[in-house]
Structure 1
Amino acid sequence: MGGALTLTVSALVYPSMLGLDTVSTSADRLIANTQWGPFTESDRAFVVAVRAAGLWEHPVGQIGLEKGQSKAVLIASQHLIDGHAALDETCRKIAPMLNVVLPNVASPQQEGFVTTLKTAQGKQFDIDFANILRMTHGSIFNTVAKVRSTTKNALVRALADQANDTVLDHITVMEQTGLVDFDTTLFNQTKPPTLPKSDMTPPVPPAGQPLVVLPPPPNATSTPADLGPAMNGAAANGG
């Protein structure tokens, strides 16, 4: 079959670290030659990281719609659900094309954020919501830019384009709550990680487990990435 993947065993294993650190410590290591371009360790880590982000931020958006005290937090919650549902659809489309195993559960660190927000009440919920999500989106924003500027894979570029728009939108709506403590948030965003790698990596799902789908809201405005240009480019190159 034209464009078949040339894989190593490592293509089925998650990157060692996700979350608030860089997506890979060996970003240039080639995993596969695909019809959409070379697929590296950094590329794979990025696809998994986008999926993992949605697995905790989409439900946090739903929690925010239930517990948010201000209109700005309710709006930000809607943006989380809308944006991550569309990103997740793109991840689920390209993962089998690139032979990437996607998680069904976020990392322990990310699940800890969810627990914190489930526990918080009243005004404190709004404060924790805005600051946790501004921190995490600010952290991944730099990773998105790095992946977009260095990847040679057209499918990963398409996901990075969509992620760039979505993450910037989410940063913006968090800041518009007026609750972000920039000094603390930016310090936490940029300090070296202190958690063990296992806490920052989502667990691999059991073999054959169906993928969790993050449903879009009824009034969704975000759309999945247009993969047409990547497909057309592969065809033009004989893929």
Structure 2
Amino acid sequence: MFAVDRMLLWHRRMSGAALAAFALVLLDPQVARAEPGVPVPPNGLLSDRGKGDISEADRDFAVKVRLAGLWEIPAGEMAQEKSEDPRIQAIGRDIASQHVALDKLVRAAAKKLDVTLPNKPNADQQTWLAEMRDAEGAEFDRVYIDRLRAAHGKIFPAIATIRASTRNDTVRKLAQRTNQFVMTHMTLLESSGIVDFAALPTAPPPAAAAGATANAAQPRTAASSATSLSVAGTPALAIVVVALASAAITAFALRAFPRNSRRSYARQRGRYYET
């Protein structure tokens, strides 16, 4: 009988622990800031040992990441100095500071992989910077937002190609991190409200075999969704498992000892404590 008492006491404690864990998940600042249902890539699961073959495309990718910082950092500084719009100033500040961080990542990767990086923007980027230096006020805002949004739109699919195809673990991790930077920058630029979406390049039409490709991709899509859900839902799943296990133990205890037996046990327990 005392074993039952200990088991029921354990159940109450476990229920309290499960509720406390659930409360911590709800109050965790990282969870609060995350968009519900949208997973954050677990970059820590990727290795970064410089292992695997490096293709010319991998090397070119590292060069492009470096070039992006070489012109977007001074462009962001100009946005803070020349724009009269506080929102554009904030966008320029955020993108410039984030490119400083990304530049450190690409230089570290290049050193590990023995990839030579450029030290100045290319001809097109220098032209864009010259446009910004010559523009003022609202015209500067338009040039800054349009040039950066167009550049991010071009590098975005290139990142996906490298992330999906590279054999090198350092390039793979750099591509994943760069992708997060680029998506953030595109979102910031679009938050200005002055992006000319109609002027963006039109996506090419689907290939003739698009139907067959879609059918072949369907299992992979399902698998991808399942993986995302498993990663994003791990804390909540653990809480559910604990709660279900606790409920199952309680149900077993209640079925194993009928009500009359429990009443008899309670009376005996009362007499025990009275002595």
> TM-score scaled to structure 1, two decimals?
0.63
1:131–1:185: 8 Å Cα contact kept in structure 2?
no
Match for residue 155 of structure 1 among 162, 167, 170? 170
The alignment status of 1:137 with 2:152, answered yes or no, reads yes
Deviations 1:76-95 (A, max 9, x none): 10122122111110111111
The alignment status of 1:70 with 2:85, answered yes or no, reads yes
Root mean square deviation of aligned Cα: 1.6
Structure with larger Rg? 2
2:50–2:113: 8 Å Cα contact kept in structure 1?
no
How is 1:167-186 mapped onto 2 (pairs within 5 angstroms)?
167-186=182-201
- The 2-side partners of 1:112 and 1:39 are apart by 31
Deviation at 1:35, TM superposition (A): 5.0
Identify the residue that residue 54 of structure 2 maps to in structure 1. 39
1:68–1:122: 8 Å Cα contact kept in structure 2?
yes
Identify the residue that residue 102 of structure 2 maps to in structure 1. 87
The alignment status of 1:111 with 2:126, answered yes or no, reads yes
- The 2-side partners of 1:79 and 1:165 are apart by 14
- The 1-side partners of 2:155 and 2:136 are apart by 27
1:36–1:153: 8 Å Cα contact kept in structure 2?
yes
- After the TM superposition, list the runs of 4 or more consecutive aligned residues in structure 1 that deviate by more than 4 angstroms: none
> TM-score scaled to structure 2, two decimals?
0.55
- The 1-side partners of 2:165 and 2:84 are apart by 41
Amino acid at match of 1:137: H
Deviation at 1:116, TM superposition (A): 0.6
1:72–1:173: 8 Å Cα contact kept in structure 2?
no
Amino acid at match of 2:78: I
Identify the residue that residue 240 of structure 2 maps to in structure 1. none
Equivalent residue of 2:57, what SS?
A: helix
1:51–1:91: 8 Å Cα contact kept in structure 2?
yes
Deviations 1:40-79 (A, max 9, x none): 0010000000001100001101111101221221121012
From the two aligned structures, give the one with the greater helix fraction.
2
Deviations 1:163-202 (A, max 9, x none): 1011011101111101111111335x98xxxxxxxxxxxx
Amino acid at match of 1:67: K
How many residues were matched structurally? 156
Identify the residue that residue 55 of structure 1 maps to in structure 2. 70
Segments of structure 1 that go 5 or more residues without pairing to the other structure are: 1-33, 191-239
Segments of structure 2 that go 5 or more residues without pairing to the other structure are: 1-48, 205-275
